Amino acid sequence: MTQRIDFQTDPSRYRHWRVAYDGEIANLYMDVDEQGGLFPGYELKLNSYDLGVDIELADIVQRMRFEHPEVKVVVLQSGKDRVFCAGANIRMLGGASHAHKVNFCKFTNETRNTFEAAEADSGQKYIAAVKGACAGGGYELALACNYIMLTNDSSSSVALPEVPLLAVLPGTGGLTRVTDKRKVRRDLADVFCSVEEGVRGQRAVDWRLVDEIAPNSKFDEVVQERAREFASASAKPSGLTGIALTPLDRRFAEDGSVTYSTVEVVVEREAGRATLTISGPTDAAPDTVDALQAQGAEAWILRAARELDDAILHLRLNERQIGTLVIQTQGDGAAVLAHEALLLNNRDHWLANEILQYWKRVLKRVDMTSRSLVAIVEHGSCFAGPLAELLWAVDRSYMMLEEFEGDNRPLAAITLSPGNFGTYPMGNDLTRLATRFLGTPEAVEAARARIGEALEAEEAEELGLVTYVLDDIDWEDEVRVFLEERASFSPDAMTGMEANLRFAGPETMETRIFGRLTAWQNWIFQRPNAVGPDGALQRYGTGVRGDYDMERV
Length of the chain: 553
Give pLDDT tens digits for 124-175: 999 999 999 999 999 999 999 999 999 999 999 999 999 999 999 887 799 9
Segment 340-361 shows an average pLDDT of 98
CA distance 498 to 519: 12
Q: What is the chain's mean pLDDT, rounded?
A: 96
Please determine, for residue 333, whether its predicted confidence score (pLDDT) is greater than 50. Answer: yes
What class has domain 252-497? Answer: alpha beta
- CATH of the structural domain 11-233, one choice from 2.40.50.200, 3.40.50.150, 3.30.200.20, 3.90.226.10: 3.90.226.10
Q: Which residue, among 400, 233, 244, has the nearest Cα to 329 in the 3D structure?
A: 400
User: Cα–Cα distance between 516 and 531 in angstroms, integer?
Assistant: 18
Structure confidence by residue, pLDDT tens digits, 39-74: 999 999 999 999 999 999 999 999 999 999 999 999
Residue 288 has pLDDT above 70, yes or no: yes
At residue 89, the pLDDT reads 95
Q: What is the pLDDT of residues 245-256, one digit of tens each?
A: 999 999 999 998
How does pLDDT run across 87-124, given as a tens digit for each residue? 999 999 999 999 999 999 999 999 999 999 999 999 99
> Identical fold at 11-233 and 252-497?
yes
**Which one, of 60, 54, 68, 73, lies nearest residue 12 by Cα?**
60
Q: Do 415 and 498 touch, CB atoms closer than 8 A?
A: no
* 298-311 confidence digits (pLDDT tens): 999 999 999 999 99
For 323-338, what is the mean pLDDT? Answer: 98
Give the Cα separation of 398 and 379 in Å (integer). Answer: 12
pLDDT in tens, 498-541: 999 998 999 999 999 999 888 888 899 999 999 999 999 989 88
pLDDT of the residue at 553: 85
Coil vs helix vs strand at 57: helix
Please determine, for residue 315, whether its predicted confidence score (pLDDT) is greater than 50: yes
The pLDDT tens digits for 180-236 are 999 999 999 999 999 999 999 999 999 999 999 999 999 999 999 999 999 999 999
Domain locations along the chain:
11-233, 252-497
C-alpha 433/C-alpha 221 separation (Å) is: 49
Provide the percentage of residues in the chain whose pLDDT is more than 90: 94
Radius of gyration over every alpha carbon of the chain, rounded to an integer in angstroms: 24
The separation between CA 29 and the C-alpha centre of its own chain, rounded to angstroms, equals 22
